[in-house]
Structure formats: C-alpha cells, structure tokens
Amino acid sequence: MHPLSFVMSTNLVLLFHEMPSKDWFRAALQTIKRVYRFISIEEIEEYYFGNKRFNNCCHICFDDGDRSFYENAFPVLKETGIPATLFLSPKIVENVSNYWFQELNYLREKLGDIILKESICEVLNCDYLQIKKYGVFSLFNCMKLEDILKVIKAIEEKHSIRIDRKYNITKDQLAELNKSDLITIAAHTMNHPILSNETDSDARVEISDSVEKLFQMLNEDVKYFAYPNGITGLDYGTREQMILGENRIRLAFTADRGFFSKKINPFCIPRGSLSGTGKENNVLILIRIILLPFWGAIRDKVRFRRVITEKDERREIKRLSIF
C-alpha cells in the first residue's frame, strides 16, 4: 500500500517512452506492483464518469510508439496481463516516418548543438547571441511545427545527411497491438507539434485529424488523448481542451507530475514519468515510484542550487518572442 494513501488520492498514471529491455521493464512492473494495483484506462474513465471508486491504483501508458514498446514492453505486458495505453500519431505510423524530435536527436548527436543553433538563425533569421545560452530542445519546443521542419530539412541538406533509421512501430504491429485485449490505442496529434505554438486552425487539424485517422485505421472510436510534451499552461490550454470536447474525447493526459483524483479535470490528468537505462538499482526505482509526483522537486533540492529547467528556459524564450 502506498504510504500516503490514508491521507490523499494516490491514483497514478505512469508514463514510459523508450524501453531499454524486457528485463528492466519486468523488474520495474514487479516493483510498481509492491506499491500499486494496476488498472486499465477504461477504469479511469468509469472513475470520472461512472460509479467506479478506487485508490492506490496505477495505469501504465506509453507515448509515441517507439519500436522498443513493441519489442520490449508488449511481450512483458502479455506475460503479466497488465493493461496499458499507447498514445501515438497515426500519420507517423502510416507514413513509416519519424517524429521531428527523433530526427533532431539524430542530428544533434552527429553535429552538436552549435551547428543546430546556427541553422536556426540561418533559417529563421534570428540573432545567435540571443539564443546561444538556451538548450536546443528548449528552442525547438518554442517553434511552430512548420519552422521546425524547415530547420531540420535545411540541416540535412547543408550537411548531406540522410536519416534512414526508422524508430517507430509499423502498421502491422499497430494492428496486432490493437487486437490485444491489453492495449488501448489513443491519439497524440498527427505530427507531435507543441500545440500552444500553433494557430487555432492548425491546432484543430492536428487534434481532429489524429482522432479521425486513428478511427479509420482501427475501426474503433478514439476516446483518449495525450498532449505532446504536455505541460499545462505552456504546451496546451483551454483552446485544446475545447477542441478535444468537440471530438468526443473523454480523458486527456498531461506531463504534469501528480496523482489524479475526482478534483482533477479529466482533460488535465497528470502523469508521472519513469525511464531508465536498464542498469538502475531496484531500491532506487522503488523510492522514485513511491515519491514520483514529487521526485523532480526533491531531486532539484538535493542539488542545493537552483536548476534552470527547460520549462524556465521556454518561458523566457516565449516572453522574449524570439520566434
């Protein structure tokens, strides 16, 4: 039982992205099970809109559809019978393409931050000294999708780089996952833009088309959504919630830390994020899971200094209207 369950809601949605190995995920689930009871996303829907009541429960979910989900997580979920939700962009699967941030990571590893920042300035006509101190992802996460793609294309052309690697699951794998009683497929926009950076019409297309396209691919209603990046007030707002309502979405998930309860808006459900290299000590994983909604704040205080986070940087970039 979670040590806080007597005084507050300890219902948790736990988010993963890439999966380092089957063994790591298996061990992580065993550790989580020591603290929580696993539930499906349908039970969360019933909790909000029906008569379902529970505490000390955990729902497992994944964003994006990286191949490591199919290769390392899905087999373990089948072994253990644990339900999970996969939020993905149908256009990425249908086109057998990569997300922009996957390609950006590739280019960053090849070329380094300075070249990427210089390319931003060349394409978007901004001052290098103005952006020099900011992290690469802080900068890109403040851009419109159209500008992100322009910069990436310019970098690839200038440096004669062709990214052949495909990072994500295939249509056949998606169909297999959808047939499973354990995996719920849900929407994550068409191209994974930061929605708050987009115009009203572009944000509407990104959300509405992802819901409709997934319906066409799965022949099932799509009821759940995860905001790309997902920080409340920075990556999405009331505009996006309104569009979700128009598309009959029932639950939407953020990247804010915290437990969920009846007091939380069903379009703003927080998620704790857990990642690993496959080499972590199980005791540390257990401590992180118990303290997950507060882990970031605790970690930063332990450092005994103020840490400038990507969130801080992005707020400053937006305030300065660099892009």
Residue 203 exposure: Cα atoms within 13 Å on the Cβ side: 20
Q: Considering the entire predicted model, what is its pTM? A: 0.92
What letter represents residue 307's amino acid? Answer: V
3-state SS, 216-242, equals: HHHCCCCCEEECCCCCECCCECHHHHH
Between CA 205 and CA 210 the distance in angstroms is: 8
Query: Which DSSP symbol is given to 59?
Result: E
> Residue 227: which of 105, 89, 319, 46 has the closest Cα?
89
Domain boundaries, the chain: 12-97+168-290, 100-158
- Please report, in tens digits, the pLDDT of each residue of the chain (323 residues total): 555 554 467 899 999 999 999 999 998 999 899 989 999 999 999 999 999 999 999 999 999 999 999 999 999 999 999 999 999 999 999 999 999 999 999 999 999 999 999 999 999 999 999 999 999 999 999 999 999 999 999 999 999 999 999 999 999 999 999 999 999 999 999 999 999 999 999 999 999 999 999 999 999 999 999 999 999 999 999 999 999 999 999 999 999 988 999 999 999 999 988 876 666 666 666 667 667 666 555 555 554 445 578 899 999 999 999 99
CATH class of residue range 12-97+168-290: alpha beta
Buried b / exposed e over 155-187, threshold 16 CB at 10 Å, is bbeeeeeeeeeebbbeeebbeebbeeebbbbbb
Amino acid of residue 259: F
For residue 232, what are the contacts with CB-CB under 8 A and spacing of at least 6?
Answer: 254, 256, 268
**Can you spell out the DSSP letters for 14-38?**
EEE-S---HHHHHHHHHHHHTT-EE
**Which tens digit of pLDDT belongs to each residue from 18-57?**
999 999 999 899 989 998 999 999 999 999 999 999 999 9
CB of 77 closer than 8 Å to CB of 177: no
